[in-house]
Amino acid sequence: MQNIILIAFIGIAAGIMGGMFGLGGAIIIIPALVMLLGFSQQMAQGTTLLMMVFPVGALAAYQYYQKGFVDVKSAAILAVFFFAGGYLGAKFATQFPQDVLRRAFAVLMVVIAIKMWFQK
């Protein structure tokens, strides 16, 4: 029961962050599943990807769409290539040892944070 409550808390926190900042899966959910619930890196990534399939972003995206903040053409192009890229990325990720994948993920997050911090 404690894990269910923790997973629900992670989900609501990621949903709020996703709605506010357009993030959640990689920044909130994956590290939380790994650090708080002991998921392997692959299990956390796979679980997060399954969770993000259509229904999760639909209501948040609809709010943005209503206010005129959605470029439908760009979103469609992104979706097609994200679909293909997600498949390829998952094929690669499932072949790496967990510790290598987790460290690569951490480096990516640090690089993004540094770039965003110093970007004008």
The closest of 109, 111, 114 to 27, measured between CA atoms, is 109
Question: What single string gives the DSSP state of each residue in 47-74?
Answer: HHHHHHSTHHHHHHHHHHHHTT---HHH
pLDDT (tens place) for every residue of the chain, 120 residues total: 889 999 998 888 887 777 666 666 678 888 888 899 999 888 888 888 778 766 667 887 888 889 999 888 988 887 788 788 888 888 888 888 989 988 988 898 899 889 889 988
**pTM (two decimals):** 0.65
Helix (H, G, I), strand (E, B) or coil at 94: coil
Reported as a single tens digit per residue, the pLDDT across 71-88 is 889 888 877 887 888 888
